[in-house]
Amino acid sequence: MINMKIYNKYITAIAVSLVLASCKAPMATVIQDDVKNNIPENFKQDEQQDVNNNSGTTPWRQFFTDPNLVSLIETSLKNNQELMITLQEIEIAKSGVVAKKGKLSPTVRAGLGAGVKKAGRYTSEGAGDASTEIEPGKEMPDPLGNFEGGLMANWEIDIWKKLRNEKDAAVAHYLSTVEGKNFVLSNLIEEVADNYYELLALDNQMDIIQQYIKLQTRALEIAKIQKQAAAATELAVKKFEAELAKSKATEYTIRQEITEKENQINALCGRYPQPIVRTKESFMSTIPQTVYTGIPSQLLANRPDIKQAELELKAAKLDVEAARKEFYPSLEISATLGLEAFKPSYLVKMPESIAYNLVGELAGPLINKSAIKANFQTADAKQIQALYEYDKTILNAYLDISNLMSKVKNIDQYYQLKSQETQALDQSIDIANQLFKNSRADYLEVLLNQRDALDAKMELIEAKQKQLSTVVDIYKGLGGGWK
């Protein structure tokens, strides 16, 4: 005879050993955020920035003063398809939070069932059924039916906080999608403003080329008159004709660019092509906004792409913890309560038809852990990947602001010098035309002066557009636009 006490001790020891063996879990990689911890105190090491002045915290309605631009931004925020797609991503992430939160609570289902079973007569079950009387003189029916209905519950007890980690990871991911939406808002406002200023620049270039065409037309007429008076040659006439044709061709190129730029703005506004309301006359006199950068550490709180990357890193860390807890045993409780009988009429007989079941199960992985090991390694790698993504976002944000600060100063100097060049060339055109009329200068001097003046004016308009767009870019780079 086997001693039952010794047998039970062996069984208990084996069960405990198996549980302990299944509790061994690998450790996640410990990551350190050196980029965030070592962010410089200022954007330029030889300059001090004002902590209290940061244009990134200014609402976009206060930053942009052109009413036509404000109207375009409002339209784009209502209709832009990319923004609408991002909003649906938020809804998807919100549903993910609800799903993960639901796993923390018991699952209760209601069910009905019916079936029939015929056991062999010469089996223990069949012989038992044949010899069983339900009531005096009534044997068990053959075949035997089964009718049941009741409630079934399942609940995984979150003893290792695995489910809570999964829920917290889903919450972090949801919050990151909200920040992603804010980043899309910031990018959208920047893109609308940049395209608007480019459109105004094209309008002003169109005015310049049309003025130049009028100037070339008059110069051609003078060349023809001088040819008739033998003061100029046919070559001069042909050169002026060629220059006039080139200017007219440039006009059509600018017209096409204006059409494409208008449609690009309409696409951002989520609408079919239509004229863009704008005032081009004040473009060259527009003074760019003064931008205050604050200090680099404020980027962590102001820029939505940095906050998005930070939340994704948090979610990745929680995913690693949840994947690690898969190595531990899980405790599940299942229960059923209902009515069961072989005839529907017996279901209402109490308490004979009442059936219930309660089971608690503690089980963990023991052999062949390849799947959960792979899931853990994947989660660990994604955690490291998220850290690199976060660090890259911070570094790029700092470099963007540093570059744009330098660009603001240099483009201002460039604009001032181009203004001086344009004024000097305008004066030289008048002088060259007067000399040409008096036969004291040839047509080449006139043409070269006119070409140089046209190029300088075109470049001056581009410089103004870059001035305004750079200010918009640095505003967005500081985290402005989404508030």
Residue of 291, 290, 292, 294 whose CA lies nearest to 40: 294
Residues 288 and 168 in one domain: yes
Residues 269 and 282 in one domain: yes
241 falls within a domain:
yes
Q: Which residues contact 101 (CB under 8 A, 6 or more apart)?
A: 167, 170
- The tens-digit pLDDT sequence of the chain (483 residues) is 445 566 555 555 555 555 555 557 888 888 888 888 889 988 876 566 677 788 999 999 999 999 999 999 999 999 999 999 999 999 999 999 999 999 999 999 999 988 888 877 778 777 766 666 666 656 667 777 888 999 999 999 999 999 999 999 999 999 999 999 999 999 999 999 999 999 999 999 999 999 999 988 988 888 888 888 777 788 878 988 998 999 999 999 999 999 999 999 999 999 999 999 999 999 999 999 889 998 999 999 999 999 999 999 999 999 999 999 999 999 999 999 999 988 888 888 888 889 999 998 888 888 888 999 999 999 999 999 999 999 999 999 999 999 999 999 999 999 999 999 999 988 888 787 777 677 676 667 777 788 888 899 999 999 999 999 999 999 999 998 888
357 falls within a domain:
yes
337 falls within a domain:
yes
Range of the domain at 141: 106-157+330-363
User: What pLDDT is stored for residue 350 in this prediction?
Assistant: 85
Residues 39 and 131 in one domain: no
Residues 311 and 455 in one domain: yes
Residues 96 and 139 in one domain: no
Residues 381 and 264 in one domain: yes
Look at the block and give the residue holding tokens 């309301």: 277
Final residue of a structural domain among 314, 341, 363: 363
9 falls within a domain:
no
Cα(212)–Cα(205) distance, integer angstroms: 10
For residue 365, whether the previous peptide bond is cis, meaning omega lies within 30 degrees of 0, is no
Residues 44 and 110 in one domain: no
Residue of 275, 99, 65 whose CA lies nearest to 171: 99
Residues 110 and 90 in one domain: no
Residues 323 and 339 in one domain: no
19 falls within a domain:
no
Domain count, the chain: 2
Angle, helices 234-268 vs 162-228, to 10°: value is: 160
Residue 267 CA, chain-centre distance (Å), reads 19
Residues 110 and 92 in one domain: no
User: What pLDDT is stored for residue 1 in this prediction?
Assistant: 44
Residues 286 and 426 in one domain: yes
- Which helix (H) or strand (E) is 97 found in, with range? helix 81-102
280 falls within a domain:
yes
- Rg (the chain; Cα; Å): 40
Residues 194 and 253 in one domain: yes
Long-range contacts of 441-448 (CB under 8 A, 24+ apart): 442/236, 443/223, 443/232, 443/235, 443/236, 443/239, 443/240, 444/239, 446/219, 447/239, 447/240, 447/243
